[in-house]
Amino acid sequence: MVAQRDDRSGAIRLALTETGAIGATVRQLARRIDGSLDSVEAALDHLRVRGDVLRIGRGLWVLRDFEDLGEREDFVDPAAFVERFAREDGVSLGTYAGPITFRSNESLPVHRWWPYVQGYSAEFVRGVLAAHQIGPGVTVLDPFAGSGTTLVEARRAGARALGTELLPPAVLAARVKTYLELDPGRLARAAGRVLSTAAHHRPGAFPFLRETARQFSPAALGDLTRLRDSLPREGTPVPDALRLAFGRILIPSSRLHRSPCLGYGRSDGDDGLSVLDRFRDATGEMADDLRSLVGERIRLGPPAVIDARDARTGDWPPGSVDLAVTSPPYVNGMDYVMNYKVDLAWLGYARSYADLARLRRTEVACDNLPRAEASPYLATTTSIDPWLTEILPRIRENVRRKGTYRRNDMHAIVHRYFADLVPVLRNVHRALVPGGRFVVVVGDSLLAGTYVPGDLLLARIGRSLGFRIVSVEVARSRRSGQRRSFGLRESVVTLERPSAAVGRHVHRA
Ligand SMILES: C[S@@+](CC[C@H](N)C(=O)[O-])C[C@H]1O[C@@H](n2cnc3c(N)ncnc32)[C@H](O)[C@@H]1O
């Protein structure tokens, strides 16, 4: 028995030596040494008690020798990149003080209509608009508009608000939230009609998602289909607002949670509210907020224009934008389409898995990118940025050493991510007036044991496309999902289209 366990421990030690600092999960180890999950768990426990291994990140195990990434010869740590950025790009990192995450929006009128964890704070946007003296007569652009935080605040500042966004439920949220002229009384009456129609409606068909019956209780499913089938057709302000309220209550009415990724684990109805109660509350809150903002109407900018499209193809007229503010997806960030598949299906924006796949092909690369989309980016040499030419082979090598990793083409995904940002940066640069700024909130990442300074890379790529790097300010620290002890950051990168033409090198992706 003991001899058998020692053999297994030895095999695990060997496997963990090979996977190095990126470690392996119990399942990966079991596959690698051809053992059962239970036996691997028992052997790991034995090694842990002896102090030979430790658990990091989400269920990853590493040898204690690899506890500190900095001790690995090929590991380039955040400080080294910061120092190099100051040397090569002439900018030292500063600090941004103030709330940056969406959390503070959850109690704010209008912003709370569609809680979007991936969004940033209205207070941050207000600060940027004030610092750039944004008011009537100017245009503000957000190419990754999300739920419309930038556009709501730009309109409230009297500016013209322009945006693009790929995810249809987010486009709906941004459109509804920026239309602050909506009559609260009409909205409340329309919500009342929907509720009384739904009360007498027969339950309808489920959306196409295979797990629908597992995601909701039978009672919630019946109510949701009746409510959905009682909603007026989309396309005008009141029906759109009703649909947004319906979209908002989907996850709270389900057995799912989104924190920030979609997962099971919430018991439905735990606050005792029915689907119809939730809809009544959501539309009531919208009507209250609209009433509280009636006095602001006179100061609002022209109606916002939000296009449901891929920001990489944004063709805003040259010199038409005074300020751009955005937050793109992060390197190895979430798959927005899969994370919002419930909303997409119930709101009718996706009617099949093929529709979801189509949308996923156009989103900025995430670690769930279809393989065919990543395959043109398998080469590790790139003209995007010399730092990337160093980073991509490190990712590829670490994944190869590990043997089993979530994706063996991870370096291609990272390559494609930065290639996706190039046309957006180029389009925004062209759209800005000379002297106009592009303020970007973005984070860095730790991938397969390789550090990727996403914020500094974005700034550098912007510089290669003709922007001047004004500043990079650290707004908050985050924890790596792969290794909780590893500190990451979220930064505010400010770029400027210089007033006078300066020499520039344009890179092709
Ligand atoms: C970090 S979120 C922006 C959140 C926004 N600042 C807010 O406060 O709600 C990034 C957004 O980029 C969108 N996105 C991803 N790929 C895109 C693409 N190719 N074109 C346009 N939008 C895209 C995602 O759907 C997501 O809403």
Q: Which of ligand 1's atoms lies nearest the C-alpha of 116? A: 9
Q: Closest residue (by CA) to atom 7 of ligand 1?
A: 119
Report the separation in Å between the CA atom of 179 and the middle of ligand 1, taken as the mean of its atom positions.
Answer: 20
What is the distance between the alpha carbons of residues 95 and 97, in angstroms, rounded to a whole number?
A: 6
* Residue 328 alpha carbon, nearest atom of ligand 1: 10
pLDDT at residue 486, as a whole number: 81
* Cβ 364 under 6 angstroms from ligand 1: yes
Return the best residue to mutate from 153, 364, 438, 445 for the ligand 1 pocket (most ligand atoms within 8 A of CB). 364
CA of 329 to the centre of ligand 1 (A): 6
Amino acid letter at 267? S
Residues with Cβ within 8 Å of residue 266, at least 6 apart in sequence: 254, 255, 256, 257
Q: H helices within 211-340, ranges in order? A: 212-215, 218-230, 237-250, 275-292, 336-339
85 lines ligand 1 (CB under 6 A): no
**Overall pTM > 0.95:** no
Say if ligand 1 is within 6 A of residue 490 CB.
no
CA dist 492 to 140, 172, 280, 303, 453, Å? Answer: 17, 26, 38, 27, 13
Distance CA 263, CA 339 (A): 9
* Pocket lining: 166 vs ligand 1, CB cutoff 6 Å: yes
Does the beta carbon of 329 sit less than 6 angstroms from any atom of ligand 1? Answer: yes
pLDDT bucket at 271, cuts 50 / 70 / 90: confident
pLDDT recorded at residue 89: 97
**What's the average model confidence in pLDDT over 480-509?**
74
Burial (Cβ within 10 Å: 0-12, 13-18, ≥19) of residue 364: buried
Which residue segments constitute the domains of the chain, with CATH numbers given? 2-67 (1.10.10.10), 181-292+333-363 (no CATH)
Kindly list the distances between the CA atom of residue 325 and the CA atoms of 45, 78, 110, 144, 152, in Å, as whole numbers in the listed order.
49, 25, 19, 9, 12
Q: How do residues 121-170 score in pLDDT, each as one tens digit? A: 999 999 999 999 999 999 999 999 999 999 999 999 999 999 999 999 99
pLDDT over 80 (residue 301): yes
Q: Using a 6 Å cutoff on CB, does residue 116 contact ligand 1?
A: yes
Which atom of ligand 1 is the closest one to the Cα of 420?
A: 19
Residue nearest to atom 16 of ligand 1 (CA): 363
Region 353-375: what's the mean pLDDT? 92
DSSP SS3 for 292: helix
Ligand 1 proximity of 113 Cβ (cutoff 6 Å)? no
Write the DSSP symbol of residue 409: T
Q: Is the CB of 118 under 6 A from ligand 1?
A: yes
Query: What average pLDDT is seen over the chain?
Result: 91
Task: Please give the distance, rounded to the nearest whole angstrom, from the Cα atom of residue 358 to the centre of ligand 1.
Answer: 16
Q: In angstroms, rounded to a whole number, what is the distance separating the alpha carbons of residues 420 and 312?
A: 7
User: What is the C-alpha separation between 132 and 322, in angstroms, rounded?
Assistant: 9
> Which tens digit of pLDDT belongs to each residue from 308-326?
999 999 999 999 999 999 9
Atom nearest to 326 CA in ligand 1: 6
Looking at ligand 1, which atom is closest to the CA of residue 105?
A: 8
Look up residue 84 and give its amino acid.
R
Residue 504: what pLDDT?
46
Task: Let me know the angle formed at the C-alpha of 490 by 488 and 491, rounded to the nearest 5 degrees.
Answer: 130
Nearest atom, ligand 1, residue 362 CA:
19
Q: Which atom of ligand 1 is nearest to the CA of 311?
A: 20
Residue bearing the bigger pLDDT, 38 or 89: 89
